[in-house]
Amino acid sequence: MKRIIVLLVVLAMGLSMQAQEMKVIKLNAPNKTKGEAVMKVFNQRQSVREYAAKELSQQDLSDLLWAANGVNRADGRRTAPSARNVQDVDIYVVMKEGAYLYDAKAHQLNPVAPGDHRAAIAASQDYVKTAPVCLVLVSDLSRMGNPQAEQTKLMAAVDVGIVCQNINIACAGLGLATVPRGIMNHAELAKALQLKDTQLLLMNNPVGYPK
């Protein structure tokens, strides 16, 4: 018994040390003049479920996150509208080396959990594990007041849907491949991302370069 406890303590220490080893990733400034004309981009938008075996460049990741839900005005408002501007949608960025939370104000990725959590996002769909980056869209209902109300959850779903479509359109315009997904292993992912009870996991987008 004593041995098991010592083993568990060593394991826990190892995990927390790993988490401390993760560093904040300062993203490049987004390139706001990049991309194709909007009508051409709508014409190109499609779900893509095959990705090249190539990491996403820092610049593409930066541009994509800013387009998804970055700050685009001096008063802190975002590229994605949200009900009453509560800005309830958070983007978790899940990569091979770990999971991060996109901090839109600082335009950086804050460490959340080390390790590869893409399998929890993939669930029954293996192709997801080949995407170098998965964006997981979470609404924090506590920012909306009355988290249990049906209307709150509906607004959360709408807000997440808008960010998701920003991602779909941005990918189409930036030469990236993605698919909006509702499937994921909710319980496993919520645990890995250390979500609170008020945080609703709604959609995810695997992202990579087209194959």
Ligand X SMILES: Cc1cc2nc3c(=O)[nH]c(=O)nc-3n(C[C@H](O)[C@H](O)[C@H](O)COP(=O)(O)O)c2cc1C
Contacts with ligand X by CB under 6 A lie at 46-47, 49, 125, 179-183
The smaller minimum CB distance to ligand X, of residues 35 and 180, is found at: 180
The smaller minimum CB distance to ligand X, of residues 6 and 183, is found at: 183
The smaller minimum CB distance to ligand X, of residues 82 and 204, is found at: 204
Helix pair 150-174, 58-69: axis angle to 10 deg: 140
The smaller minimum CB distance to ligand X, of residues 46 and 85, is found at: 46
Q: How far is the CB of 125 from ligand X (least distance, A)?
A: 6
Q: Are 85 and 76 in contact (CB under 8 A)?
A: no
The smaller minimum CB distance to ligand X, of residues 124 and 148, is found at: 124
- Tokens representing 24? 């904040």
Q: How far is the CB of 180 from ligand X (least distance, A)?
A: 4
State how far the alpha carbon of 91 is from the alpha carbons of 2, 7, 44, 199, in Å: 41, 35, 24, 12
The two counts, helices (H) then strands (E), for the chain are: 6, 7
At 112 the three-state DSSP class reads strand
Q: How far is the CB of 203 from ligand X (least distance, A)?
A: 6
Q: How far is the CB of 164 from ligand X (least distance, A)?
A: 7
Give the Cα separation of 130 and 183 in Å (integer). Answer: 16
Angle value at C-alpha 100, between 28 and 198, nearest 5 degrees: 130
Q: How far is the CB of 7 from ligand X (least distance, A)?
A: 38
